Amino acid sequence: MLTGRHLIAGDWVMGEATFASQPASGEAHDFSVGTPAHVDRAARAAEEAFWSFSSLTREARARFLERIAAEIEVRGAEITEIGHQETGLPTARLEGERGRTVGQLRLFASHIRKGDYLDRRHDAALPDRAPLPRPELTLIQRPIGPVAVFGASNFPLAFSVAGGDTASALAAGCPVVVKGHSAHPGTGELVAQAIDAAIKAEGLHPGVFSLIQGGRRDVGEALVKHPLIRAVGFTGSLVGGRALFDLCAQRPDPIPFFGELGSVNPMFLLPSALKARGGDLAKGWAGSLTMGAGQFCTNPGIAVVIDGPDAEAFVAAAREAVGAVSAQTMLTDGIAAAYRDGQRRIAAGRGVREVLVTSCDLRTATPYLYEVSAADWLADHALAEEVFGPLGLIVRARDADEMERIARSLQGQLTCTLHMDAADTDHARNLLPILERKAGRIIANGFPTGVEVADAMVHGGPYPASTNFGHTSVGTMAIRRWLRPVCYQNLPTDLIPESA
């Protein structure tokens, strides 16, 4: 049952102002608007909770994560219902995303039980070493303190209130303050109710988790600038993320900002693969490009081909496959408007030609397909900017050298894809060193939508794909963002943390 309130340190708190949700279907609900005062209360409670939460045994934190997962499952039907109403996402997609959300909570529980993430290192003392003795040194990773998390618009569960940022921070021993996304406040509240129930069941300090709903820009600014917040996790737009990143850097005590900001996820279709299975690749691309109305950070917006008859056949097949996709509801009116703006920008780009032009309005999205020569694409940097929605751009290169020029010109990406057959190996070998410098994940003969939550996954990349290329927001390595190494020199063994 929705309250429309914030959850701050175990209390469901009203605000003076409210905002109404804007569901794709069903009735709207009123929610309290967050304020900097709410931020201050939540951050102070998180700091108070840090002392006990960070010193819990790994087993106790693992049980807490598993309890959150179980409480979310108890509310599963209710979460799916409100999530579908608020976002317009199909119930099957929401149920799958809920499975991913509870799965990553349980994955982090398993991960911290193993203890490998602590990266323990020990150098024994060498008191007789000449010319100077060596002290005994022990290194261990320790939690950094309260973490701020910004919920994502496009993943109401897996990247939001109890998503990967929250799960990994809690696993590390860091209390979390979440700024919920106004696109799905009801979904966020129900998940927060599950976390609150888990906190009470495990007897933890209530400041371990808080959710602040809505709020204007001043709430986000207050959160990243609060002196008790020690790091920020963010998934969202380049403009919004860069503004918060700059605020983190301008603090008297700068803190890390782990932001995922945008990517066009280019695919390189190499000649032999294009010739042998261009039609199948076009169908696969259409499915990936239009999945979820193209509202995925890994949406493959650009396909690079070498011009010729095989490219012509690919374009024709892509036109047919993309054209068969019906209109879809987008997450918010604002996202739909931004998609239309992006479509107009691409259509007006240098040398851009129409392949498939449709018509969309209000909150719906229909797919668009364009093509452009590599020379024109290289001369117009706006064509390499993300369009959040089901719009594809085919870039025609003259030859392999021009395809490599395209790869070298790319900004940082979450993914780059090589579609290749055995005969393309030499070409792929030349591209691979370039793409390694551009993306966090290199895919062969697949499509980037769908990010496995696993030990080896990297969901990040050079700027602007993310603000810190050395980390990932998906997979167990995500926990490293909320830890820092501490070296203990000659400290008695019974004082060194063992269960962090």
Q: Which residues are catalytic?
A: 260, 297
Q: Please name the amino acid found at residue 85.
A: Q
H or E element that contains 176: strand 176-179
54 CB contacts (<8 Å, ≥6 apart)? 142, 143, 173, 174, 500
User: What pairing do the DSSP bridges indicate for beta strands 209-212 and 137-143?
Assistant: unpaired
Bridge partners (DSSP) listed for residue 391: 368
Distance from the Cα of residue 437 to its chain's centroid: 20
Whole-Å CA distances, 52 to 137, 169, 349 = 26, 15, 56
Dihedral angle at the C-alpha atoms of 171, 258, 79, 295, nearest 10 degrees?
Answer: -140
Q: Where are the beta strands (DSSP E) in 188-297?
A: 209-212, 231-235, 257-260, 267-269
365 residue type, one letter: A
Compute the Cα dihedral for 424, 426, 429, 435 and give only its sign.
Answer: negative
Range list of H helices, 75-147: 76-87, 91-114
Q: Given strand 257-260, what is the order of strands in its sheet?
A: 11-13, 6-8, 209-212, 176-179, 147-150, 231-235, 257-260
Collapsing DSSP to helix, strand or coil, 370 comes out as strand
Long-range contacts of 111-119 (CB under 8 A, 24+ apart): 111/171, 111/455, 111/476, 111/479, 112/58, 112/61, 112/62, 112/171, 112/479, 113/58, 113/59, 113/62, 115/58, 117/141, 117/476, 117/479, 117/480, 117/483, 118/500, 119/485
For residue 212, give every residue at least 6 positions away whose Cβ sits within 8 Å of its Cβ, in sequence order, or none: 6, 8, 34, 38, 39, 42, 177, 178, 179, 180, 219, 223
- Judge contact between 368 and 392, C-beta under 8 A: yes
Omega before residue 131 within 30° of 0, cis: yes
Query: Could you tell me how far CA 494 lies from the centroid of its own chain?
Result: 39
**Residue 180 near residue 214, CB atoms below 8 Å:** yes
